[in-house]
Amino acid sequence: MRHKDIPLRERIIFALDVASPDRAMELVERLENRIGFYKVGLQLFLAGGFPVVERIAARGHKVMLDLKFYDVPQTVNLAVEQLAGRHVTYATVHGNPPILEAAARAKSDVKILAVTVLTSFGPEDAAQMFGPAARVEDVVLSRARAAIQAGIDGVVCSGLEAARLRAELGDDFFMVTPGIRPGGKTADDQKRVITAGRAISDGADHVVVGRPIRDAEDPISVVDAMQEEIRKALANG
């Protein structure tokens, strides 16, 4: 496995899952000496639109726009076209191969990530959605393979599937893993969780972290600890 040459400060993508652009920028300003990559999701984008993306980019940081586009192929194609020149590094898309192919054709200066299976899904959710014999890891692998064949730049998946995807699909795609928790522990809606160091060691390029940093008494110490895990994982890789 070959780790990509990504700066340590861009390995953690901090999830700005807050209700206002001003609160988002407070967090950016607090963390930017450590973190240079931020996720803007549905909540914040609906509150602040592209101006909040531009404010983050103006401070020299990268943005993952996590809107999970899902619609008929032509609509997704036109939506992705709107991201050109908007300071977006990664954008997320859901869907089958025709939808993913439509996104890939329109990506311009944006890298497209295909969402495989949400990290809030557990085995019981997979059985309900995909059938009683379905296993989450098999669905993730199938969707990741289809995304790469469709021309997508990378995937979003749990760190629990990272090693298998790297082993079977190679190094030439980006892998972004949410569901990161210190010690792998969770008391929220995430079910498939893993530590930052383990995710990177198993082949993830970036980890997405929100609540464990945002809600910590000392967010900087949490970031430092995660980055030390990641540094060791890269050194041992």
3-state helix/strand/coil string of 128-150: HHHCCCCCHHHHHHHHHHHHHHC
Q: What average pLDDT does the segment 44-51 reach?
A: 98
Marked catalytic residue, from 62, 68, 185, 232 = 68
For residue 124, the model assigns a pLDDT of 73
* Domain boundaries of the chain, sorted by first residue: 8-235
Closest among 53, 116, 39, 44 to 82, alpha carbons compared: 53
For residue 7, the model assigns a pLDDT of 97
pTM summary value: 0.92
DSSP string, 152-220: --EEE--GGGHHHHHHHH-SSSEEEE--B-GGG--SSS--S-B-HHHHHHTT-SEEEE-HHHHTSSSHH
4 belongs to the catalytic site: no
**Which of residues 163 and 183 earns the better pLDDT score?**
163
Residue-wise pLDDT for 72-100, tens only, equals: 999 999 999 999 999 999 999 999 999 99
Beta bridge partners of 40: 65
Residue-wise pLDDT for 137-155, tens only, equals: 898 999 999 999 999 999 9
Topology of domain 8-235, per CATH? Answer: TIM Barrel (3.20.20)
How far apart (Å, rounded) are the C-alpha atoms in residues 177 and 188? 17
**Residue 89 has which token pair?**
């590094």
Q: Could you give the C-alpha distances from 215 to 63, 84, 179, 219, in angstroms and in order?
A: 21, 33, 15, 7
Q: Confidence band (pLDDT; 50, 70, 90) for 62?
A: very high
DSSP string, 48-109: HHHHHHHHHHHTT-EEEEEEEE-S-HHHHHHHHHTTTTS--SEEEE-S-HHHHHHHHHT-TT
For residue 211, the model assigns a pLDDT of 93
